[in-house]
Amino acid sequence: VIGSKQISSDENGGGGGGGEKGSANNASSGEGGSGAGGVEPKFVPVTDCLNWLQDLQRALRRDDDSYRPVSLLLGRWRVVSQKLVPLVLSCRYDTPLVLTVVKILVILTKPMSDSARRAGRLVVDVASKKNPENVIREQIKLRENAVAQSQQLLEYKRMFVRHPSHSKRGSKGSAGGGLLSVFVSLLAEPLSKTGTDRTDADHLTVELVLHLFRNLLSAEPILVGGSAEKANEAAALHHDLLSLFERELVLDVFLVLAQDMESRENAPYNLLLMEILHHLFRGHDPTEVARAALEGGGGNDDTSVVAAGSSAAKAASGAPRRMGGPASASPRRGGGPSSSGSGALGALLKKERRRLSTGATARHSHFGGTLVAMDGDGKRRYVSAGALTGR
């Protein structure tokens, strides 16, 4: 049963709409509660919902990577918060539809291009007469466009962190988990497969969800020299995201991947996971991260660093500090900062070397075997590889 449209005729262009907004509006329809105190609107996909979403995805793929006019337009229309997210929460078990929405979210939240970052940090000298007026206007336009992209990425990050579904999780009448749990649940089946059982479609699902997490973690203000209030607000938002990742088992997903990173099926995620760890520890003192890994005790060596990130996320949720500040600004426990930090890092390196050396000596060669030689009387004589090499 398809409910009534939640958008008015003028919003939809009078006849279903066209282009990107037509794709966004026609992808879903909603049915709302009637009467006083009605329930929250529930989005029900129309017949060709998946086709509309794929049209929107193709439009975003054709978007200019430096200026991103289509992405900025969708941000002004609030398509993600008013259309895509409610659709995902209502159709969380429709895997093809959710995966298509994830692809759209990955494109919308991907980090800014290098040229846009340079334009956003460009100092425009309006009073100078060295540059022509048209060049100055173009520089101002590029800078405003880059700042708009940065603000939109932060708005997406804020929308994920402060979505009402996370606060309603576990309450009476709430169906399923929060918004982030929908994307985490996509990883359950692919990560349960090992070796050749993990198909290309499984790898694509894992990479899509990891890219979405990476994009959310990487969102930060482009103007590093802005006000202290905005910097502290961005740092607090980042710490809230880490706390949300810890509650929604995203950090556990990173642990699962890190502890079995040497396996062939997890090798494609190496660089992506390293980038995630970089953004995960952003703003934290490296010595404290190393110390947290040592204080963790008898955990697996492969997961000690990621486990330290989980501890850092828990600690950071209550005490955000300014992003980009000096490392000495964070409190240290006992001893000098340099000696304790170097000792902790040195202990981690020694432990890692011992583990690698132990694994190397215990590893068997893939080319080992036994040679069977036939004597003249027809008897078999077994010759080992060690005897042939003189060992």
Residue 188 burial by Cβ neighbours in a 10 Å radius (0-12, 13-18, 19+): exposed
Top-confidence residue, 125 or 183: 183
Q: How many domains does the chain have?
A: 1
In this predicted structure, the answer to whether residue 291 has a pLDDT above a threshold of 70 is yes
Percent of the chain whose predicted confidence (pLDDT) is above 70: 68
Distance, in Å, from the CA atom of 173 to the CA atom of 169, rounded to the nearest integer, reads: 9
In this predicted structure, the answer to whether residue 184 has a pLDDT above a threshold of 80 is yes
pLDDT bin (cut points 50, 70, 90) of residue 10 is very low
- Region 282-310: what's the mean pLDDT? 66
Q: What is the pLDDT of residues 335-367, one digit of tens each?
A: 444 444 556 667 777 777 777 776 555 555 455
In this predicted structure, the answer to whether residue 390 has a pLDDT above a threshold of 60 is no
Q: What is the pLDDT of residues 35-60, one digit of tens each?
A: 334 455 678 888 899 999 999 999 99
CB-side neighbour CA atoms (13 Å) of 235: 21
Of 252, 263, 249, nearest in space to 203 by CA? 263
Is residue 368 one of the residues assigned to a domain? no
Which residues have CB under 8 Å from 166's CB, separation 6+? 178, 179, 180, 244, 247, 248
What confidence score (pLDDT) does residue 231 get? 86
In this predicted structure, the answer to whether residue 380 has a pLDDT above a threshold of 60 is yes
Is residue 183 one of the residues assigned to a domain? yes
Top-confidence residue, 161 or 262: 161
Sequence letter at residue 137: R
Q: Mean pLDDT in the chain? A: 77
Is residue 162 one of the residues assigned to a domain? yes
CA–CA distance from 196 to each of 19, 106, 293, 366 (Å)? Answer: 41, 27, 33, 19
Is residue 49 one of the residues assigned to a domain? no
Query: What angle, 0 to 180 degrees and rounded to 10, lies between the N-to-C axes of helices 69-76 and 49-61?
Result: 130
CA–CA distance from 323 to each of 29, 112, 230, 233, 304 (Å)? Answer: 41, 19, 10, 9, 24
What's the alpha-carbon Rg for the chain, to the nearest Å? 27
Is residue 140 one of the residues assigned to a domain? no
Domain span holding position 282: 157-323
Query: What angle, 0 to 180 degrees and rounded to 10, lies between the N-to-C axes of helices 228-247 and 133-161?
Result: 40
Top-confidence residue, 174 or 36: 174
Top-confidence residue, 325 or 133: 133
Is residue 130 one of the residues assigned to a domain? no
What confidence score (pLDDT) does residue 375 get? 76
Q: What is the pLDDT of residues 202-229, one digit of tens each?
A: 999 999 999 999 999 999 998 766 678 8
Q: What is the pLDDT of residues 314-329, one digit of tens each?
A: 554 444 444 444 343 4
- Region 135-150: what's the mean pLDDT? 91
Which residues have CB under 8 Å from 78's CB, separation 6+? none
pLDDT bin (cut points 50, 70, 90) of residue 282 is confident
Q: What is the pLDDT of residues 81-119, one digit of tens each?
A: 999 999 999 999 999 999 999 999 999 999 999 999 999
In this predicted structure, the answer to whether residue 7 has a pLDDT above a threshold of 50 is no
What confidence score (pLDDT) does residue 335 get? 42
pLDDT bin (cut points 50, 70, 90) of residue 373 is confident
Top-confidence residue, 230 or 129: 230
CB 25 within 8 A of CB 12: yes
pLDDT bin (cut points 50, 70, 90) of residue 148 is very high
CA–CA distance from 191 to each of 106, 169, 260, 280, 304 (Å)? Answer: 20, 25, 11, 21, 20
What confidence score (pLDDT) does residue 344 get? 63
Top-confidence residue, 271 or 306: 271
- Region 26-43: what's the mean pLDDT? 50
Of 303, 298, 285, nearest in space to 340 by CA? 285
Is residue 244 one of the residues assigned to a domain? yes
Is residue 191 one of the residues assigned to a domain? yes
What confidence score (pLDDT) does residue 353 get? 74
